[in-house]
Each structure stands twice: as C-alpha cells, then as structure tokens.
Amino acid sequence: MANRGKPRQVFLRRAYSSLYYAMFHALANSCADMLIGRRGKASSKHAWVQIYRAVDHGYAKAQCTNAKILSKFPPDIANFGSVFVNAQIKRHEADYNPYIRFYKSAILNDRTIVQDAITRFLACDPKDKRAFASWVIIRSRAA
C-alpha cells in the first residue's frame, strides 16, 4: 500500500483481513503461552497447539463485546478486546459486503490502531493475560 495511486478494492479488502488475523493470531499465541507456557522444551507441543487452536472467532468476539466484564481487565487488555471486535466486523464487511468501498487512509489508520493494541496487549502483566485467555476460550456455565 506504500505505492502511489489509488489501490484496487481487492487489495484494500485483503488488508482488512490481514489486520484482523494479526490480532487473532496474537491472541491465540498469547492464550497458548499463558495457559501452557512458551513454546520450548519445557512445554508440550501438542497441548500448546491445542490451546492455540481453541480460540474460536465467534466466541472470542462475543466475550470481547461484553463491556461489563471487559472493563474489569486492565485498560490495554480491554482496548485489545474492543479493537479485536472492530477488526473482526471490518473483516466481515470486507469479505462479504461487495457494496462497501474501502479507502487507503482508513486502512492505514486502522493498521496503526491494531499495531498499537497488539503491542500494548503483549506488554501486559502475564496474570492479566492469563485471565483474559481463560475468558476468551473457556465457556463458563456461570456468569
């Protein structure tokens, strides 16, 4: 997108998909690291992958839409959750609504927001990221 000129819509749509998946994979990686341990000799590769793959797009979005609970997390985690929801909505629009037009300036702005949200989230206290990981993966019977 650094080239001059007006980018084609197909590339702008793909950019929104990439932004969302950057957040999704940062979340999945963090969940596996927090619940199993960082990849390495001390952790089980199978268990790590199982947790990584346990993050469900819809459930994670639903959890991050719950403002009452999300507000109980530190601001950088709550912000990550909010940005995650917005990124998923925009990805769905980009993938499934051919009538919406996308603009390079908006995508560049959203890229900055996503990068900042990921950076701040990854810098959070492990105990808070662990709590967030369990909250976005484990379906609770009690509220």
Decide: 89 and 69 in contact? Cβ < 8 Å. Answer: no
The domain containing residue 87 runs over which residues?
55-137
Amino acid at 64: C
Residue 19 has pLDDT above 60, yes or no: yes
Separation of alpha carbons 3 and 62, rounded Å: 37
- What's residue 45's pLDDT? 87
- What's residue 2's pLDDT? 55
pTM of the model: 0.90
Domain count, the chain: 1
Q: Does some domain include residue 82?
A: yes
pLDDT in tens, 53-75: 999 999 999 999 999 999 999 99
Name the token pair of 126. Answer: 């492990």
Q: Does some domain include residue 15?
A: no
Q: Does some domain include residue 78?
A: yes
